[in-house]
Copies of this chain bind each other. A is one copy, B any other.
Amino acid sequence: MEDVIMEWTREKRYLPYNQWSAEKLLDLQAKAANSPAQMHYHLHPISGLVNDPNGFSYFNGEYHLFYQSYPFGAVHGLKSWWHFKSSDLVHWENLGLAVKPDCKADSHGAYSGSAMQIGDRLFLMYTGNHRDENWIRTPYQIGAWMDKNGNVSDKHVLFEKPANITEHFRDPQIIKKNGHYYAILGAQDQAEKHGHIDVWKSDNLTDWHELGFLHFTDQTMGYMIECPNIVNVDGKAVAIFCPQGLDQQVANYRNIYPNMYVIADQADFEKTQLINPGKLHNLDEGFDVYASQAFNAPDGKAYVISWVGLPDTTYPTDNEEWANCLSQVKELSIKDGKLLQQPVSSIKSLRGQEEQTNSQLIKEKTNGQYELAMTIKAGQNGKLYLAASDDLSQNVTLSFDTAKGSLTLDRSHNAQSVSEKYGQTRSILLKQDADLKLDIFVDHSLIEVFVNDGEHVLTGRFFNDPDKQKICFDHKIDYTGQFWKMKTILFKVKAIKNGSKTHRCS
């Protein structure tokens, strides 16, 4: 892998797309398609690297989603938005590259942002990353319009950073409330270099002014907040964000950077505060979730989708020149003051024949692509091995104690390890002497574990030999379970008018 990484000079990472060869791209696409680690029912790279979900929205009667794409390798190079759409949040249509870094304001990357239908077009609001000849960065907040035919046009700079904010000023989420438009952005202040959520306002999408930093805690939110989102969930305001460098005394986390959430009674943007905010919690208690993006659909439902990948982190598939994927879409709700994340109901449309499985050996072999739902009766402890070799030496392990109340996801016995310095296990505490309900989704090198109807989610990548597919308990366990092979998702092609996907901005 080393050699691959060594090659990536700054010049190469920011080489314009028209200076890469089509032959290279064709080879990269074939590599990504043929990789044994590739996801089959989650959004994954067509080639190269994907990171943040962007522009998650409802437009023209369908759900739209973009992701940050660097098509030419497993590095964070010159970024674009790649476009997908869906009628059910499970089956996605691949509509290809949609927003390219093709004007001065986004010359070094069409970075993350959000989208909202306004009139009969989709308004895209994102951060343009510009660097000058001395590599000094200037972030521009850009607006653009996408029509029903997927044509992106009229890119224009909405506003630049205020003097009190450093170059770290990005990831706008546009929100409409009481007839006004608001945007919340991740920001680092000049004075103390702390992380903030900065609130802006506009009544016409053209003239924007800053309202100031959002107050929702007295604690320091590390040195930078990335990817802030605020959504309405069952009458509450839930803020989801990534406070980089957060003190682990403020909120405990194990990953290199956390993806946190806070539940408040409501968000008062005019007063730049969350009303009665709770404390910080990890959105996901596994290994690899970051930059999650949430939005409220017209029916009021709140959905979130996560990048399964972390900044400043390498993965074994880097040597195949592709990296990362997105999580499945999770529906948000609040129960007893707790945030629940659950699979959308249409995920069931991917299930094959239901297979009952109540023995110690669950599957001798699988195709690496399945859902396993089980209820483990109270008062037991043991290990569930997944993606395991016959002698169980290679595996992904879920260790549970339904007496004391704990669950641990362990990837220390993978064939190839990831981020060892941040630990190879993730543990959560559960109610004592209670049944444990697990809904486990495995997609080749991805595992998503939904615990007790979404009270906890543990998401992680794992890298075992593709033929290691055994699923079993370490000893006889009292449980009930169902197993489904999962279908590969469809990348439908939507019939829309032909036209260039982007227009250079003037």
Contacts and interface: CB of A to CB of B under 8 A. Distances in A.
A484 interface: no
A96 B493 contact: no
Contacts of A29: 96
A495 B40 contact: yes
A283 to B, nearest CB: 28
A312 to B, nearest CB: 24
A21 B24 contact: no
B492 A36 contact: no
A149 interface: yes
A498 B27 contact: no
A100 to B, nearest CB: 8
Contact of A34 (B16, B21, B23, B150): B150
A26 B96 contact: yes
A444 B495 contact: yes
Given A488-B493, A492-B40, A498-B35, A16 B27 contact: no
A69 to B, nearest CB: 10
A496 interface: yes
B23 A16 contact: yes
Contacts of A33: 94-96, 493-494
A493 B38 contact: yes
A96 B30 contact: yes
A17 to B, nearest CB: 4
A337 interface: no
Interface residues of A, number: 50
Nearest to A46: B29
Interface in A1-50: 16-27, 29-31, 33-38, 40
Contact of A24 (B18, B149, B488, B493): B18
A72 interface: yes
Contacts of A24: 18, 22
B71 A26 contact: yes
Nearest to A91: B488
Interface in A116-156: 149-150
A429 interface: no
Given A16-B23, A493-B488, A499 B34 contact: yes
Given A22-B24, A34-B493, 5 more contacts: A20-B23, A30-B96, A31-B498, A33-B96, A36-B498
27 contacts: A17-B22, A18-B21, A18-B23, A19-B21, A20-B22, A20-B23, A22-B71, A23-B100, A25-B25, A26-B97, A27-B97, A30-B95, A30-B96, A30-B98, A31-B501, A33-B94, A33-B494, A34-B95, A34-B96, A34-B496, A34-B501, A36-B495, A320-B498, A466-B495, A466-B497, A488-B492, A488-B493
Interface of A: 16-27, 29-31, 33-38, 40, 71-72, 94-98, 100, 149-150, 320, 368, 444, 466, 487-488, 490-501
